[in-house]
Amino acid sequence: IYHTPELTPEGKVPDCAIAVDVLRATTTIATVLAAGAEAVQVFSDLEQLIQVSEAWSTEKRLRAGERGGAKVVGFDMGNSPLDCTPERVQGRRLFISTTNGTRALQRVQNAAIVTAGAFINRASVVKYVIAQQPETLWIVGSGWEGSFSLEDTACAGAIAHSIWQQTKLSLDELAGNDEVMGAIALYAEWQNNLLELFHHASHGKRLLRLDCHEDLKYCAQMDIVDVLPLQTEPGVLKIV
Ligand code: MLT
């Protein structure tokens, strides 16, 4: 587990990477694909997003932009998963740039397998990863501008905990991996109170100041969508 993309080892790529941005990018990515979007294409840079998406008609594209939790002016939507209704997104490609989550996905885009995990699709991600049996697996929290975040670490812990249980690894096999042990402990402590954990988290507080109470409630739900966003080409995620 790496708590931010900045903490991943330079010059290395794993066999499989799970990018996690519970509040809210990877929750939004899972939701928009579940609602029938054709694909999600991620960008760290807003200008580049605008340029690439220019080739798509306004009926076929949706531009989502978020900075500091707020919608970017001129974009079709911000980063709220609640905006991803089937009526709005069906058959369209979501071009999205967010403060941290899309940067985490770009950091790991050279891994053989790249997926996006959140509490809402944890079970689907875990099932797929176990079936792939990767030798190296990174779970990369997006954090906030290089800093640790409670909610991403708890979600990384939820994923690691489930893999650990289902593969019947012994505790000895986890010992020595302090990040994994710490994330599982955080998840174990808060698993029945995820919404409360979000209320204590710095980005949760930021979103509450922006009146995103309903987003927090939605993002705190566990295993509610059976969706596996998989990278099919660098920066593009689909259901395959
Ligand atoms: C991010 O990428 O930092 C987040 O998803 C921010 C947000 O929209 O809540």
Q: pLDDT value at position 173?
A: 82
* C-alpha 172: how far from chain center: 29
Of the pLDDT bands very low, low, confident and very high (cuts 50, 70, 90), residue 118 is very high
> In the prediction, which pLDDT does 24 show?
98
Indicate if ipTM > 0.95.
yes
The pLDDT score that the predictor gives to residue 179 is: 95
Q: How far apart are CA 238 and CA 40, in angstroms?
A: 7
Q: At residue 126, does pLDDT exceed 90?
A: yes
What pLDDT, in 10s, does the model give residues 157-206? 999 999 999 998 887 888 888 999 999 999 999 999 999 999 999 999 99
Pull the structure tokens for residue 229: 């966003």
Which of 98, 102, 120, 198 to mutate for ligand 1's pocket (most ligand atoms within 8 Å of CB)?
Answer: 98
Task: Kindly report, residue by residue over 138-153, the tens digit of the pLDDT.
Answer: 999 999 999 999 999 9
Burial call 197-225: b when 16+ CB within 10 Å, e when fewer: bbeebebbeebbeeebeebbebbbeeeeb
Distance 10 CA to ligand 1 centre (A): 24
Task: For residue range 54-102, list pLDDT tens digits in order.
Answer: 999 999 999 999 999 999 999 999 999 999 999 999 999 999 999 999 9
What pLDDT sits at residue 111? 97
Residue 172's Cβ-count burial label (10 Å; 0-12, 13-18, 19+) is exposed
Residue 98 Cβ inside 6 Å of ligand 1? The answer reads yes
The alpha helices in 35-177, defined as continuous H runs, are 46-53, 86-89, 101-107, 122-132, 150-166, 171-174
Contact 153, 183 (CB under 8 A): yes
Pairs from 44-48 (Cβ < 8 Å, separation ≥ 24): 44/97, 44/102, 44/103, 44/106, 45/97, 46/72, 46/97
| Ligand 1 centroid to residue 148 C-alpha, Å | 14
- Per-residue model confidence (pLDDT) at position 222: 98
Token pair for 106: 């770009």
Cβ partners under 8 Å of residue 11, min gap 6? none
* Ramachandran angles phi, psi of 43, nearest 5°: -140, 140
**Mutational test site, ligand 1, from 23, 148, 206, max ligand atoms within 8 Å of CB:** 23
What are 13-67's pLDDT values in tens digits?
999 999 999 999 999 999 999 999 999 999 999 999 999 999 999 999 999 999 9
| Alpha-carbon distance values, 138 to 14, 61, 179, 201, 220 (Å) | 6, 31, 11, 23, 22
Distance 170 CA to ligand 1 centre (A): 35
Query: Would you tell me the crossing angle of helices 150-166 and 202-209 to the nearest 10 degrees?
Result: 130
* Distant-in-sequence, close-in-space partners of 20: CB < 8 Å, separation ≥ 6: 26, 104, 116, 117, 118, 139, 140, 141, 142, 152, 155, 156, 159
